[in-house]
Structure 1
Amino acid sequence: MVQALVVGGTGVAGRQVVKEFLARGHSVRVLTRHGGAPGTDVEHFQGDLVTGVGLAEALDGVDVLVDTTDGKTRGTRSVLESGAKNLLATADGAGVRRAVLLSIVNVDLGGFAYYQAKRRQELVYENSPIDTWIVRATQFHEFIPMIAGPASRAGLIPAFTKTRFQTIDTRDVAHALVDVALSTESAPEDPITIGGPEVHTADDLIKKWKKASGSHGLVTKFPLPGALGKFLRDGSNLVPDNKFGTITFDQWLAESAR
């Protein structure tokens, strides 16, 4: 049995990674900034990646760690690079044999701040003395309501023109991350890339979400400006030759509705 630590284990992807480890009969710990509720099958450790407080305790006796941390806002972005440095340095000292990072498809091609921060996080992992694996995934199914939900309350739902998505279910992402964490092979030089089972236009996905959610907002087509818009229009968010997921957006919507 492996002792795993999931960093960011209460997040959208992290929760599924925890479930996947448990389903395979392994022991799991979760590292979060605020700790967690006792009385579950999972140990929760309170720690801060930026300051390093609590990391040694959480990593003591750990075999593998999976890092699902995020930092989309300017205020939380430091957790990606400096947090990774603290985490991996402590993990190396604790004798952790493998570290796995969840990242984003073609993150090295993105010219906007969040992707640049994620790429710096990747570089920390690539330069670590620990056996490290990087798994890059396409946008989660949750990405669509994250865009559409807040805007729909104002009466408009954005559907970016000339843009397609290959969304993936976080359960499929978790399956890939745990496969890597438990693999007996050595890490490859390049990141592992995984994408969802289908490619749809933004307009198609937004309309599917609107119907399933019962939203009354008006679907409005417009080009997304800036570096992110160019990244998406170029199709850099797609990996049609690396379809890994099996749970479609329609299936996820149906389950969410229930």
Structure 2
Amino acid sequence: MVQALVAGGTGTAGRQVVKEFLARGHSVRVLTRHGGAPGTEIVHFHGDLVTGDGLAEALEGVDVVVDTTDGKTRGTRAVLERGSENLLATADGAGVGRAVLLSIVNVDRSEFAYYQAKRKQELVYENAAIDTTIVRATQFHDFIPLVAKPASRVGVIPAFSKTSFQTIDTRDVATALVDAALAAEPSPDGPITIGGPEVRTARDLTTAWKKATGTHGVVVTVPLPGAMGKFLRDGSNLVPDNQFGTITFDRWLADTTRALA
């Protein structure tokens, strides 16, 4: 049995990684800034990646680390680079065998500030003293309602123009991350790239979300400006030759709406 630590284990992807480790019969710790409720199978460790507080205790006796941390805002971005430096340095001192990072497909091809921060995080992993693997994934299925839902309250449901997505389920992402963490072979040179099972336009996905959720409003095609808009219109978010996920957007919608009901 492997002792795993999931950094960001209370987040969207991290929760699924925890479930996947448990489903395979392994022991899991969750590293969180805010602590967590005690459970019979999951041990929560309070720690701060930016300051390093609590990391030594959390990593003692750990075999593998999976890092699903995020820092989309300027105020939280330090967790990506500085946090990774602290995590990996402490992991090296604790004798951790491997660390796996969740990143984004083609993150090195965009001038978008968040993507540049993620790329700096990748570089920390690439230069780490311990064995590391980077898993780059396409946007999660959850990304579509993240864009569509807020504006739907006023009857407008935005869908980015001239844009397609290859969204992937976080359960499939978790499978890839745990596969990488438990692989018997040394980590590959370069990142592992995974995408969802299908490529669909933003309007198609948004319309499907509207129908499945019964949301009222008009789907309106809108341009996304800036570096992120260019990245998406160029199709840099797509990897049709690297389909890994098996859970389609429609199945995710059905699962999500059934759970809410």
User: What's the TM-score bracket when you normalise by the shorter of the two chains?
Assistant: over 0.9
1:12 and 2:12 equivalent?
yes
Offset at residue 89 of structure 1 (A): 0.5
For structure 2, the residue ranges without an aligned partner over 5 or more in a row are none
Q: In the alignment, what sits opposite 1:25? A: 25
Q: C-alpha separation between the residues in 1 aligned to 2:61 and 2:151?
A: 46
Q: In the alignment, what sits opposite 2:84? A: 84
Q: In the alignment, what sits opposite 1:62? A: 62
Q: How does 1:160-239 map to 2 (within 5 A)?
A: 160-239=160-239
Matched to 1:214, the amino acid is G
Q: C-alpha separation between the residues in 1 aligned to 2:73 and 2:9?
A: 19
Offset at residue 123 of structure 1 (A): 0.2
Q: C-alpha separation between the residues in 1 aligned to 2:113 and 2:13?
A: 21
Identical pairs, percent: 79
Greater mean alpha carbon deviation, residues 224-233 or residues 154-163: 154-163
Q: In the alignment, what sits opposite 2:75? A: 75
DSSP-derived class of the 1:241 partner: helix
Matched to 2:54, the amino acid is G
Q: C-alpha separation between the residues in 1 aligned to 2:218 and 2:236?
A: 28
Q: C-alpha separation between the residues in 1 aligned to 2:142 and 2:54?
A: 31
Matched to 1:144, the amino acid is I
Q: How does 1:109-188 map to 2 (within 5 A)?
A: 109-188=109-188
Deviations 1:69-108 (A, max 9, x none): 0011111111000000000000000000100000000000
TM-score after normalising by structure 1: 0.99
Deviations 1:33-85 (A, max 9, x none): 01111133100000000000000000000000000000111111110000000
Matched to 2:243, the amino acid is K
Q: C-alpha separation between the residues in 1 aligned to 2:154 and 2:116?
A: 31
Q: C-alpha separation between the residues in 1 aligned to 2:96 and 2:160?
A: 43
Count residues in correspondence.
Answer: 258
Matched to 1:95, the amino acid is G
DSSP-derived class of the 2:241 partner: coil
Deviations 1:155-199 (A, max 9, x none): 211111110000000000000000000001111111000000000
Q: C-alpha separation between the residues in 2 aligned to 1:125 and 1:40?
A: 32
DSSP-derived class of the 1:117 partner: helix
Q: How does 1:83-102 map to 2 (within 5 A)?
A: 83-102=83-102
What RMSD over aligned residues (CA atoms) do the two structures have, in Å? 0.6
DSSP-derived class of the 1:135 partner: strand
Matched to 2:29, the amino acid is R
For structure 1, the residue ranges without an aligned partner over 5 or more in a row are none
DSSP-derived class of the 1:147 partner: helix
Structure 1 ranges of 4+ moved more than 2 A: none
Q: C-alpha separation between the residues in 1 aligned to 2:154 and 2:127?
A: 45
Q: C-alpha separation between the residues in 2 aligned to 1:236 and 1:113?
A: 16
Q: C-alpha separation between the residues in 2 aligned to 1:4 and 1:62?
A: 6
Offset at residue 218 of structure 1 (A): 1.4
Q: C-alpha separation between the residues in 1 aligned to 2:147 and 2:201?
A: 14
